[in-house]
Amino acid sequence: MPSQNAIGVFDSGLGGLSAVKEFLQLLPNEKIIYFGDTGRVPYGNRSRSTISKYAFQDTNFLLKHNVKMIVAACGTVSSVAGDDLRNNLPVPYTGVVNPTAFAAEKKTRNGKIGIIGTSATINSHSYKLRLEKLNPTLKVYEQACPLFVPLVENGFIRRDDQIVRLVIKRYLSELKEQGIDTLILGCTHYPLLRDTISDFMGDEVELVDSGFETAVYSAKILKENDLLNNDKSVKQPEFFVSDTPDDFKNVAGLFLGRDMEHTVTQIDIEKY
Protein backbone atom coordinates (compact mmCIF):
# COMPACT_ATOMS: atom_id res chain seq x y z
CA MET A 1 0.00 0.00 0.00
CA PRO A 2 1.64 3.29 -1.07
CA SER A 3 2.16 5.64 1.88
CA GLN A 4 1.03 8.60 -0.28
CA ASN A 5 -2.53 7.25 -0.28
CA ALA A 6 -5.12 9.08 1.78
CA ILE A 7 -6.51 8.29 5.23
CA GLY A 8 -10.26 7.63 5.03
CA VAL A 9 -12.28 9.15 7.87
CA PHE A 10 -16.04 8.83 8.23
CA ASP A 11 -18.92 9.65 10.53
CA SER A 12 -22.70 9.62 10.44
CA GLY A 13 -22.60 13.36 9.80
CA LEU A 14 -20.56 16.35 10.80
CA GLY A 15 -19.23 15.15 14.16
CA GLY A 16 -16.23 13.36 12.68
CA LEU A 17 -14.95 16.72 11.52
CA SER A 18 -13.90 17.36 15.13
CA ALA A 19 -11.46 14.47 14.57
CA VAL A 20 -10.45 15.80 11.12
CA LYS A 21 -9.51 19.09 12.80
CA GLU A 22 -7.03 17.16 14.97
CA PHE A 23 -5.70 15.18 11.99
CA LEU A 24 -5.04 18.39 10.05
CA GLN A 25 -3.06 19.77 12.97
CA LEU A 26 -1.17 16.59 13.84
CA LEU A 27 -0.56 15.16 10.34
CA PRO A 28 -0.69 18.10 7.91
CA ASN A 29 1.14 16.17 5.18
CA GLU A 30 -1.43 13.36 5.17
CA LYS A 31 -4.29 13.56 2.69
CA ILE A 32 -7.68 13.12 4.40
CA ILE A 33 -10.76 11.90 2.57
CA TYR A 34 -13.84 12.46 4.73
CA PHE A 35 -17.27 11.00 4.26
CA GLY A 36 -20.18 12.34 6.34
CA ASP A 37 -23.41 10.38 5.97
CA THR A 38 -25.50 13.53 6.28
CA GLY A 39 -28.44 11.94 4.48
CA ARG A 40 -28.84 9.26 7.16
CA VAL A 41 -27.65 11.01 10.35
CA PRO A 42 -28.23 10.25 13.22
CA TYR A 43 -27.05 6.66 13.59
CA GLY A 44 -27.20 6.75 17.39
CA ASN A 45 -30.81 5.69 17.77
CA ARG A 46 -30.77 2.95 15.10
CA SER A 47 -30.48 -0.82 15.43
CA ARG A 48 -27.20 -2.71 15.50
CA SER A 49 -27.82 -4.27 12.06
CA THR A 50 -28.64 -0.93 10.41
CA ILE A 51 -25.58 0.77 11.92
CA SER A 52 -23.41 -2.12 10.75
CA LYS A 53 -24.84 -2.02 7.20
CA TYR A 54 -24.27 1.74 7.00
CA ALA A 55 -20.73 1.38 8.37
CA PHE A 56 -19.78 -1.12 5.66
CA GLN A 57 -21.27 1.07 2.92
CA ASP A 58 -19.30 4.04 4.27
CA THR A 59 -16.04 2.08 4.34
CA ASN A 60 -16.67 0.60 0.85
CA PHE A 61 -16.94 4.13 -0.47
CA LEU A 62 -13.64 5.12 1.16
CA LEU A 63 -11.89 1.96 -0.07
CA LYS A 64 -12.80 2.97 -3.65
CA HIS A 65 -10.41 5.88 -3.08
CA ASN A 66 -7.60 3.44 -2.20
CA VAL A 67 -7.26 4.76 1.34
CA LYS A 68 -4.38 3.29 3.34
CA MET A 69 -6.24 3.38 6.65
CA ILE A 70 -9.83 3.80 7.82
CA VAL A 71 -10.91 5.75 10.87
CA ALA A 72 -14.47 5.53 12.19
CA ALA A 73 -14.65 9.01 13.71
CA CYS A 74 -17.97 8.05 15.23
CA GLY A 75 -18.57 6.72 18.73
CA THR A 76 -21.67 4.89 17.59
CA VAL A 77 -20.05 3.00 14.70
CA SER A 78 -16.95 2.23 16.78
CA SER A 79 -19.09 0.86 19.59
CA VAL A 80 -21.53 -1.20 17.56
CA ALA A 81 -19.62 -2.30 14.44
CA GLY A 82 -15.99 -1.72 15.40
CA ASP A 83 -14.98 -5.37 15.78
CA ASP A 84 -16.62 -6.37 12.48
CA LEU A 85 -14.84 -3.57 10.66
CA ARG A 86 -11.46 -4.36 12.22
CA ASN A 87 -11.77 -8.03 11.24
CA ASN A 88 -12.99 -7.48 7.69
CA LEU A 89 -11.22 -4.43 6.29
CA PRO A 90 -8.18 -4.91 4.04
CA VAL A 91 -6.41 -1.87 5.58
CA PRO A 92 -5.59 -0.85 9.19
CA TYR A 93 -8.64 0.40 11.07
CA THR A 94 -9.35 2.28 14.27
CA GLY A 95 -12.49 3.58 15.88
CA VAL A 96 -12.62 6.08 18.70
CA VAL A 97 -13.35 3.79 21.66
CA ASN A 98 -9.99 2.12 22.30
CA PRO A 99 -7.76 5.22 22.00
CA THR A 100 -10.14 7.28 24.13
CA ALA A 101 -10.57 4.68 26.87
CA PHE A 102 -6.81 4.25 27.01
CA ALA A 103 -6.28 8.01 27.44
CA ALA A 104 -8.99 8.31 30.11
CA GLU A 105 -7.52 5.48 32.17
CA LYS A 106 -4.19 7.31 32.16
CA LYS A 107 -5.75 10.63 33.16
CA THR A 108 -8.01 9.71 36.08
CA ARG A 109 -6.62 10.31 39.57
CA ASN A 110 -9.55 9.16 41.69
CA GLY A 111 -10.54 6.21 39.46
CA LYS A 112 -14.04 7.57 38.73
CA ILE A 113 -14.72 8.06 35.03
CA GLY A 114 -17.92 9.24 33.34
CA ILE A 115 -18.88 8.47 29.75
CA ILE A 116 -21.42 10.32 27.65
CA GLY A 117 -22.50 9.19 24.18
CA THR A 118 -25.43 8.37 21.93
CA SER A 119 -28.00 5.80 23.06
CA ALA A 120 -26.43 3.11 20.84
CA THR A 121 -22.97 3.79 22.26
CA ILE A 122 -24.12 3.72 25.88
CA ASN A 123 -26.32 0.63 25.39
CA SER A 124 -23.32 -1.22 23.90
CA HIS A 125 -21.24 -0.44 27.08
CA SER A 126 -18.24 -0.31 24.74
CA TYR A 127 -16.25 2.30 26.68
CA LYS A 128 -17.15 0.81 30.07
CA LEU A 129 -16.08 -2.70 29.04
CA ARG A 130 -12.85 -1.42 27.57
CA LEU A 131 -12.03 0.65 30.66
CA GLU A 132 -12.80 -2.18 33.06
CA LYS A 133 -10.53 -4.45 31.04
CA LEU A 134 -7.73 -1.90 31.27
CA ASN A 135 -8.25 -1.45 35.01
CA PRO A 136 -10.85 -3.51 36.92
CA THR A 137 -10.74 -1.18 39.95
CA LEU A 138 -12.17 1.77 38.02
CA LYS A 139 -15.66 3.05 38.76
CA VAL A 140 -17.36 3.86 35.47
CA TYR A 141 -20.61 5.80 35.07
CA GLU A 142 -22.50 6.03 31.76
CA GLN A 143 -25.07 8.50 30.47
CA ALA A 144 -26.77 8.66 27.07
CA CYS A 145 -27.32 12.22 25.79
CA PRO A 146 -29.55 11.77 22.70
CA LEU A 147 -30.39 15.47 22.35
CA PHE A 148 -26.77 16.60 21.99
CA VAL A 149 -26.32 15.49 18.35
CA PRO A 150 -29.41 17.28 16.99
CA LEU A 151 -28.43 20.42 18.94
CA VAL A 152 -24.95 20.40 17.43
CA GLU A 153 -26.09 19.49 13.89
CA ASN A 154 -28.43 22.49 14.07
CA GLY A 155 -25.69 24.83 15.20
CA PHE A 156 -26.77 25.20 18.87
CA ILE A 157 -23.23 25.43 20.20
CA ARG A 158 -22.92 28.87 21.81
CA ARG A 159 -21.43 28.66 25.27
CA ASP A 160 -24.14 30.86 26.78
CA ASP A 161 -27.08 29.21 24.99
CA GLN A 162 -29.75 28.67 27.65
CA ILE A 163 -31.29 25.63 25.92
CA VAL A 164 -27.93 23.88 25.68
CA ARG A 165 -27.21 24.71 29.33
CA LEU A 166 -30.54 23.25 30.45
CA VAL A 167 -30.05 20.03 28.46
CA ILE A 168 -26.52 19.63 29.83
CA LYS A 169 -27.77 20.10 33.39
CA ARG A 170 -30.50 17.51 32.84
CA TYR A 171 -28.12 14.89 31.46
CA LEU A 172 -24.99 15.49 33.53
CA SER A 173 -26.25 16.23 37.07
CA GLU A 174 -26.02 12.61 38.19
CA LEU A 175 -22.50 12.15 36.81
CA LYS A 176 -21.45 15.29 38.67
CA GLU A 177 -22.89 13.96 41.93
CA GLN A 178 -20.87 10.74 41.54
CA GLY A 179 -17.66 12.76 41.91
CA ILE A 180 -16.01 11.73 38.62
CA ASP A 181 -12.74 13.48 37.81
CA THR A 182 -12.63 12.45 34.13
CA LEU A 183 -15.41 12.64 31.54
CA ILE A 184 -15.16 10.94 28.14
CA LEU A 185 -16.88 12.84 25.34
CA GLY A 186 -17.79 9.53 23.70
CA CYS A 187 -19.36 11.02 20.60
CA THR A 188 -17.44 13.09 18.08
CA HIS A 189 -20.17 15.73 18.04
CA TYR A 190 -19.64 16.61 21.69
CA PRO A 191 -16.37 18.59 21.48
CA LEU A 192 -18.52 21.37 20.04
CA LEU A 193 -20.27 21.60 23.43
CA ARG A 194 -17.03 21.25 25.32
CA ASP A 195 -16.94 24.70 26.95
CA THR A 196 -20.53 24.53 28.13
CA ILE A 197 -20.06 20.99 29.44
CA SER A 198 -16.91 22.11 31.26
CA ASP A 199 -18.71 25.14 32.75
CA PHE A 200 -21.25 22.75 34.26
CA MET A 201 -18.86 19.99 35.42
CA GLY A 202 -16.24 22.39 36.85
CA ASP A 203 -12.47 22.72 36.39
CA GLU A 204 -11.69 19.65 38.48
CA VAL A 205 -13.25 17.36 35.84
CA GLU A 206 -10.99 16.66 32.87
CA LEU A 207 -12.78 16.18 29.53
CA VAL A 208 -11.37 13.56 27.14
CA ASP A 209 -11.97 14.33 23.46
CA SER A 210 -12.33 11.17 21.36
CA GLY A 211 -11.35 12.98 18.13
CA PHE A 212 -8.04 14.16 19.52
CA GLU A 213 -7.10 10.83 21.08
CA THR A 214 -8.01 8.99 17.86
CA ALA A 215 -5.83 11.24 15.71
CA VAL A 216 -2.87 10.63 18.04
CA TYR A 217 -3.49 6.87 17.96
CA SER A 218 -3.89 6.81 14.16
CA ALA A 219 -0.49 8.47 13.76
CA LYS A 220 0.96 5.66 15.89
CA ILE A 221 -0.66 2.94 13.77
CA LEU A 222 0.55 4.54 10.53
CA LYS A 223 4.08 4.73 11.92
CA GLU A 224 4.04 1.11 13.06
CA ASN A 225 2.85 0.00 9.61
CA ASP A 226 5.40 2.19 7.84
CA LEU A 227 2.56 4.11 6.21
CA LEU A 228 3.35 7.71 7.21
CA ASN A 229 3.56 9.92 4.13
CA ASN A 230 7.16 10.87 3.34
CA ASP A 231 6.08 13.70 1.06
CA LYS A 232 6.17 16.67 3.41
CA SER A 233 3.95 19.07 1.42
CA VAL A 234 0.71 20.16 3.13
CA LYS A 235 -2.32 18.32 1.70
CA GLN A 236 -5.88 19.63 1.39
CA PRO A 237 -8.68 17.39 2.66
CA GLU A 238 -11.52 16.25 0.40
CA PHE A 239 -15.09 16.02 1.66
CA PHE A 240 -18.01 13.86 0.55
CA VAL A 241 -21.56 13.82 1.92
CA SER A 242 -24.75 11.89 1.18
CA ASP A 243 -27.13 14.88 1.30
CA THR A 244 -27.00 18.42 -0.03
CA PRO A 245 -23.59 20.01 0.63
CA ASP A 246 -25.08 23.45 1.41
CA ASP A 247 -25.57 23.03 5.16
CA PHE A 248 -22.39 21.05 5.45
CA LYS A 249 -20.39 24.00 4.18
CA ASN A 250 -22.02 26.34 6.69
CA VAL A 251 -21.59 24.19 9.79
CA ALA A 252 -18.35 22.39 8.88
CA GLY A 253 -16.27 25.52 9.55
CA LEU A 254 -17.43 25.41 13.19
CA PHE A 255 -16.14 21.86 13.59
CA LEU A 256 -12.90 22.47 11.77
CA GLY A 257 -12.25 25.76 13.55
CA ARG A 258 -11.53 27.43 10.21
CA ASP A 259 -13.36 28.61 7.11
CA MET A 260 -14.38 25.83 4.74
CA GLU A 261 -12.72 26.61 1.43
CA HIS A 262 -12.70 23.03 0.20
CA THR A 263 -15.14 21.50 -2.21
CA VAL A 264 -17.81 19.16 -0.94
CA THR A 265 -19.22 16.48 -3.22
CA GLN A 266 -22.54 14.74 -2.80
CA ILE A 267 -22.59 10.98 -3.46
CA ASP A 268 -25.21 8.21 -3.44
CA ILE A 269 -24.06 6.02 -0.54
CA GLU A 270 -26.75 3.39 -1.18
CA LYS A 271 -24.74 2.31 -4.25
CA TYR A 272 -21.85 1.01 -2.13
Active site residues: 74, 187
- Going across the sheet that includes 182-185, the strands are 139-144, 112-117, 182-185, 206-209
Instruction: Assess contact for 152 and 193: CB atoms under 8 A.
Output: yes
- Of all residues in this chain, which one has the CB nearest to ligand DGL in the complex? 44
Under rule CB under 6 A, residue 11 binds ligand DGL = yes
Minimum CB distance to ligand DGL smaller for 145 or for 201: 145
Site membership for ligand DGL, residue 36 (CB under 6 A): no
Write down the least CB distance from residue 44 to ligand DGL, Å. 3
Q: Which region, left, alpha or beta, applies to residue 252 given φ > 0 means left and ψ of -120 to 50 means alpha?
A: alpha
Site map 69..108 versus ligand DGL, x via CB under 6 A: -----xxx--------------------------------
Give the pairing type, strands 206-209 and 182-185.
parallel
Q: How many CB atoms lie under 10 A from the CB of residue 157? A: 19
Bridge partners, residue 71, by sequence: 9, 94
User: Binding marks (x or -) toward ligand DGL, 185..224, rule CB under 6 A?
Assistant: --xxx-----------------------------------
Residues 6+ apart with CB under 8 A from 86: 93, 95
Neighbour tally for 233: CB within 10 Å: 7
CB of 160 to ligand DGL, least distance (A): 24
Please tell me the distance from the alpha carbon of residue 249 to that of residue 85, in angstroms, as a whole number.
Answer: 29
Binding mask 129-168 for ligand DGL (x = CB under 6 A): --------------------x-------------------
Contact residue for ligand DGL among 42, 95, 114, 245 (CB under 6 A): 42
**Binding flag, residue 121, ligand DGL (CB under 6 A):** yes
Residues lying near ligand DGL in the complex (CB under 6 A) are found at 11-13, 15, 41-44, 74-76, 118, 121, 149, 187-189
